[in-house]
Structure 1
């Protein structure tokens, strides 16, 4: 009886190993901007879909830059006033919608603080990617949470370094100190991945299946199946 149990255990382990070895890789290239609220929504829903699919697929996620407002000042500007100027009388409806969507994710949408140029955040995201896609993915989460829920300024060096420390990113201060570090690479990624798109978030799965916007988890699940074929 013990021998049979041992055999069954070995067979189960082998079956699990075979299943793991047979999992297909889904590479997700995401174009986004760190001041895009729908990019946070899309990331959270992508994460949910991935969590529901790890028994079938392995995942590699890479984040690429997009600039919603490339002329935004580096010193920042009042976020609420910027959106008032942008949306005018429609602002109340926009804020109500985003507040509702964020609440559905367990988050508080915060329009306090500053908005502005996102170049340094994209340089840092690029740098994190050099230390691993998981570290990059986690950094993007911290940047989103700080900016959208804690009124942190996306162009503030101390905030960027705080996020880097949270995800264990090494050498971030030295990297950011030179404004040329990562600049060429960010511009190249912008041209390679984002030059032909009009808005973010934008997803390309295994180079062939494309999605845009803050898609629900179910849309990502269907896209995983399509990308794996």
Structure 2
């Protein structure tokens, strides 16, 4: 989908965000001469197109890192808020949800993932993603680089290794690989982070119906697993916000 300017109602209920972007841009500009591109991503941990979009976004950022500094923040979205915490088999769930189309969907995602050098794994369980969102939000307080690394580990584990997104051991292991400290203790209390996840949902995801969804410098919005070229065009356009 093409990117478009946000409507006036969105630009800027975020006055503080605007000030923050300008302040950070000046800071980065003084040090590196690069402009800051801030990317807010609404995503669910069991959305395959969110992994596709992340990989393409990473490519776009890597190819333009000499020109821009980037700050990526991940925000929660629930494709199925009522998904069971105990989990159900992926294939069984998708067959119930999509019927005869499920095998076509699996075949399509297998093709797309292979284009990224990944193998799409349909084994294992799927289910409620609240704990993953609690952990992602928690990681953001330790740095957005760590948060981004955690999202990567969760995606790869769930989509390519058959890991269950609700498994505490998997979540803690992914946090360790991403350098996030205190994950086990944080997740032990099921109430930790829930209020913040709900606040993030209201602020970033209440107006959308699907993911991945990106807001770039509070100005441009994109949805879907876009190719790197479209992200590059969006960076150039969004840089004019300063």
Q: What is the TM-score with the length of structure 2 in the denominator? A: 0.86
Q: Report the number of matched residues.
A: 213
Q: Relative to structure 1, is the Cα distance of residues 66 and 135 closer, same or farther in structure 2, using a 3 angstrom cutoff?
A: same
- Residue of structure 2 equivalent to 1:195: 206
Distance, in Å, in 2 between the alignment partners of 1:91 and 1:180 is 35
- Residue of structure 2 equivalent to 1:138: 149
Shift of 1:19: 9.0
**Preserved contact between residue 76 and residue 133 of structure 2 (Cα < 8 Å):** yes
Q: Relative to structure 1, is the Cα distance of residues 123 and 22 closer, same or farther in structure 2, using a 3 angstrom cutoff?
A: same
**2:143 is aligned with 1:128:** no
Q: Could you list the runs of 5+ residues in structure 2 that have no partner in the other structure?
A: 1-27
Shift of 1:21: 2.5
Matched position secondary structure for 1:204? strand
Shift of 1:18: 8.0
Q: What is the TM-score with the length of structure 1 in the denominator? A: 0.91
**Preserved contact between residue 29 and residue 35 of structure 2 (Cα < 8 Å):** no
Q: Which entry has the higher C-alpha Rg, 1 or 2?
A: 1
1:141-175 CA-to-partner distances (Å, cap 9, x unmatched) read 00000000000000000000010111111111110
What does 1:97-136 align with in structure 2 at a 5 Å threshold? 97-136=108-147
Runs of 4+ in 1 over 4 A off after TM superposition: 17-20
- Residue of structure 1 equivalent to 2:9: none
Distance, in Å, in 1 between the alignment partners of 2:50 and 2:203 is 19
Matched position secondary structure for 2:64? coil
1:8-61 CA-to-partner distances (Å, cap 9, x unmatched) read xxxxxxxxx989632100000000000000000000000000000111100000
Q: 2:226 aligns with which of 207, 210, 215?
A: 215
Distance, in Å, in 2 between the alignment partners of 1:214 and 1:19 is 34
Distance, in Å, in 1 between the alignment partners of 2:40 and 2:145 is 13
**2:157 is aligned with 1:174:** no
Distance, in Å, in 2 between the alignment partners of 1:18 and 1:228 is 12
Q: 1:184 aligns with which of 192, 195, 198?
A: 195
Q: 2:44 aligns with which of 8, 33, 40?
A: 33
1:80-130 CA-to-partner distances (Å, cap 9, x unmatched) read 100001111111211111000000001000111100000000000001100
| Cα root mean square deviation, aligned | 1.3
Matched position secondary structure for 2:165? coil
- Residue of structure 1 equivalent to 2:82: 71
**Preserved contact between residue 35 and residue 239 of structure 2 (Cα < 8 Å):** yes
